Amino acid sequence: MSFYPDLHTSSLVGHGDRHRAIAWLSSDHVFPRGKVLGTFVEVLKRHVASAYQPLAFAGAHTCELCGDYSAAGNVWVPTSDVVYIAPEMIVHYIVDHDYLPPDEFRQAVEGCPPQGSPEFMRLLAPYLSYFGTSPPDPLPTPHQQAQIAKLLTTAFYDIARLCRSGDATAAAALATACADLPSEMHGWGLWYRHIFSRLVRNGRPSYPGIGAYLDEYNAIFGEDTDPELTAYTASQASLMRNIKGAEPGAAADSGGV
């Protein structure tokens, strides 16, 4: 695994002035050793077991110190000042190799809200640019949340109706589009308004009636400014102009996005 000294402002998964690398150990470099409290290890294990991953990181690492242990993924520990990023292997380094992480990291872990919770996401959001992730949209207001809740209720009845009529593909498309809305609109995870729009558009071939949900959704939030949709609409408009220019009077195809 790539080596970065503790508290370095770069790691394999990001860099920035408020980024702090932790436990990016290598067999070529000495590292601090010592005993940590068992209570700290238990808290750290809980964070690792439920680690929120802002980006997928393919492949497992094998421990260079013993060659006997592999782990994938990383754990993010944000505070209001910095974000600590450690490989999930950190627990193995502490338990089996006596690695001693810096005091400030241990304090941050003990003060860190549960991974993925709204409090955690609020702390993590300012650092997302370090991971090449765009900042999330502001959470829906209480009024918008109430409207989304009504939309979801309608969707559940619709899914039940589609199941009874045997149209599993359509039911699955609608369920997939709605699956993450209930948690994300309250801040469990990241709220990206465009995700629902894109899932609905993906679901149209399976369930043409799903388009009504997007209309309702856009009525709640105003005009959809999804860059992907804007680019697609512009390219379609340009295509239509070219067709009309080449064949005056040709019938316009008003197919959906």
Q: Does 83 bind Zn ion (CB under 5 A)?
A: no
| CB closer to Zn ion, 23 vs 124 | 23
- The pairing of beta strand 19-21 with beta strand 61-62: unpaired
| CB closer to Zn ion, 26 vs 134 | 26
CB of 67 to Zn ion, least distance (A): 7
| CB closer to Zn ion, 40 vs 69 | 69
CB of 70 to Zn ion, least distance (A): 9
Q: Does 64 bind Zn ion (CB under 5 A)?
A: no
Q: Which of 12, 43, 65, 100 binds Zn ion (CB under 5 A)?
A: 65
Candidate segments 44-52, 68-76, 121-129, 140-148, binder of Zn ion by CB under 5 A:
68-76
Q: Does 1 bind Zn ion (CB under 5 A)?
A: no
Q: In angstroms, rounded to a whole number, what is the distance separating the alpha carbons of residues 58 and 13? A: 11
Residues binding Zn ion: number (CB under 5 A):
4
* Shortest-Cβ-distance residue relative to Zn ion: 63
Q: In angstroms, rounded to a whole number, what is the distance separating the alpha carbons of residues 236 and 243? A: 11
| CB closer to Zn ion, 66 vs 146 | 66
Q: Does 63 bind Zn ion (CB under 5 A)?
A: yes
Q: Does 66 bind Zn ion (CB under 5 A)?
A: yes
Q: Which of residues 224-243 bind Zn ion (CB under 5 A)?
A: none
| CB closer to Zn ion, 20 vs 61 | 61
CB of 75 to Zn ion, least distance (A): 17
Query: Nearest 5 degrees, angle CA 71-CA 25-CA 18?
Result: 95
CB of 44 to Zn ion, least distance (A): 16
Q: Is 45 exposed, middle or buried (0-12, 13-18, 19+ CB in 10 A)?
A: middle
Retrieve residue 117's tokens: 């919770």
Binding site for Zn ion (CB under 5 A): 63, 65-66, 69
